[in-house]
Amino acid sequence: NLVPMADILQDAHKKTYAVGGFNINNMEFLQGIMMGAEELNSPVILQASEGAIRYIGMDYVIKMVEAATDKTDIPVALHLDHGSDFESVMKCIRAGFSSVMIDASKKPFEENIALTKKVVEAAHNVGVSVEAELGTIGGTEDDHTVDEKDAMYTDPDQAKEFIEATGVDALAIAIGTAHGVYKGDPELDFGRLETIKKLIDMPVVLHGASGVSAADLEKAVSLGVNKVNVNTDFQQSFTARVKEIFAEKPELYDPRKYCGPGRDAIAEKVKEKIRILGSNGQA
Ligand code: G3H
Ligand code: 13P
Ligand code: ZN
Ligand code: NA
C-alpha cells in the first residue's frame, strides 16, 4: 500500500499529529520500522538517503519496500531523504518512489526556489510528492550567536514566499535541530515554528529529531510539525543492542543472533517515537 507522502501528511496536518520519516539503512531497519508501525496501526514514511541507496542498491530498496508494503494495510510512503539535485530525484521517481525531497537549502534563496519548482513540476506530473528545505539544519547550535541563528533559521516571510512560488507538499524548516548527535541539549525556537505554521498552513517537517526530548517533540507536534525525521536514534538502538550481545557472548558468529535483536530494538524505539508523534491508530 504505497501512497504519496502528501496524502499521509495532509491528514496529519488536518488533525495535528506527526508521522515518522524513518530512515532505512538496511533490511533490519526496514523490517524493524514496519514491525513498530504495524503494531501501532500507524502510517509511516520510509526514507532512504542517497548514501543509503548507494549502500543497499536501488533495486533492493524498491524490491524490499515492495515486499514490506504488499502485505500491509498501513499507508506507507517511500521517500528520498535530502535529494541533492534534479537527476538524483528523477532516478528515484523513475524507480518507483512515491515522494522525494529536494534539498537546495545551501543554495541562494532564488536558486532554491527555481530548482524546487522544477522538481515539483516533474514529480506532481506523475503523482509523486515533494519536500523541500529552507534554512540551515546543521551542526549543534551551541556555538552560535543570536545573529547567526537569525541567519540560519527559517525566515517566516521567506517560507511563505517559497511555498507559494514552488507548490511543495511539505516544508522542512530550521528551528534549532541538527542531524546526528547533539553536543548539548538542543534548544528549539518554538515561537518561530508557530509563526511559520500560521503563515504557511501546510505540512511542516522537522529534521534532526534524534536526541530531541519527548517533551520538545510533543510541543513541536502540537505547534504544527507533521513529519519528524529520525535516523540516528534507531542506529544507536540497533548498535547498542548488538554491543550488549557481544559483551555477553563474544564468541557469537551467526549474524541472525545479533541482527535479529537489533531489529527488535529498532521496532521498540519506533513504537516509542510513534506514540510521541501521535500517529498511532491513524492508519
Ligand atoms: O539526514 C541525513 C540522514 O540521517 C541520512 O544520513 O547520508 O548518513 O545516510 P546518511
Ligand atoms: P537525526 O540524525 O537526528 O536522526 O536526523 C535524521 C534526519 O533528519 C534525516 O533527514
Ligand atoms: Zn534530514
Ligand atoms: Na539529531
What tens digit of pLDDT does each residue of 144-155 get? Answer: 566 677 779 999
pLDDT of 49 reads: 98
Query: Residue 278 is which amino acid?
Result: G
Q: Could you tell me the residue range of the domain that residue 132 belongs to?
A: 5-277
Q: Is residue 258 part of a domain?
A: yes
The x, y and z cell numbers of residue 62, run together, are 524498491
Among residues of the chain, what percentage have pLDDT more than 70? 97
14 located within any domain: yes
Cell representation of residue 106: 545551501
**How does pLDDT run across 252-275, given as a tens digit for each residue?**
999 999 999 999 999 999 999 999
Task: Encode pLDDT of 14-29 as tens digits.
Answer: 999 999 999 999 999 9
pLDDT average, residue stretch 120-139: 94
What's the CA gap between 140 and 259, in Å, rounded?
Answer: 31
Dist CA 74 CA 203 (whole Å): 20
Condensed to tens digits (0 to 9), the pLDDT of residues 44-58 reads: 999 999 999 999 999
In a domain, 282, yes or no: no
Listed in sequence order, the DSSP H helices in 16-135 are 27-39, 50-56, 58-70, 86-95, 109-125
Atom 1 (ligand 1): residue with closest C-alpha?
179
- Residue with cell string 494495510: 73
Query: Are residues 48 and 22 in contact, defined by beta-carbon separation less than 8 angstroms?
Result: no
Among protein residues, the one whose CA lies closest to atom 3 of ligand 2 = 208
Q: Is residue 162 part of a domain?
A: yes
What is the share, in percent, of the chain residues with pLDDT greater than 90?
93
Does residue 21 lie in a domain region?
A: yes
DSSP state, 154? P
Of 7, 70, 81, 189, catalytic: 81
Any domain includes 283: no
- pLDDT at residue 1, as a whole number: 78
Q: Which residue in 126, 131, 207, 204 sits closest to 167, CA to CA?
A: 131
pLDDT of residue 141: 43
The x, y and z cell numbers of residue 82, run together, are: 535530502
Contact yes or no for 172/138 (Cβ under 8 A) = no
* Residue 201: per-residue pLDDT: 98
CATH number for 167: 3.20.20.70
CB of 38 closer than 6 angstroms to any ligand 2 atom:
no
Residue 86 in any domain: the answer is yes
When mean pLDDT is compared across 62-71, 149-158, 162-171, the lowest value belongs to 149-158
Domain count, the chain: 1
pLDDT digits (tens, 9 = 90+) for 230-250: 999 999 999 999 999 999 999
Choose among 10, 32, 15, 5: nearest CA to 271: 32
Instruction: Look at residue 208 and tell me if it is in a domain.
Output: yes
What is the per-residue pLDDT for 147?
A: 67
Evaluate: CB of 236 within 6 angstroms of ligand 2: no
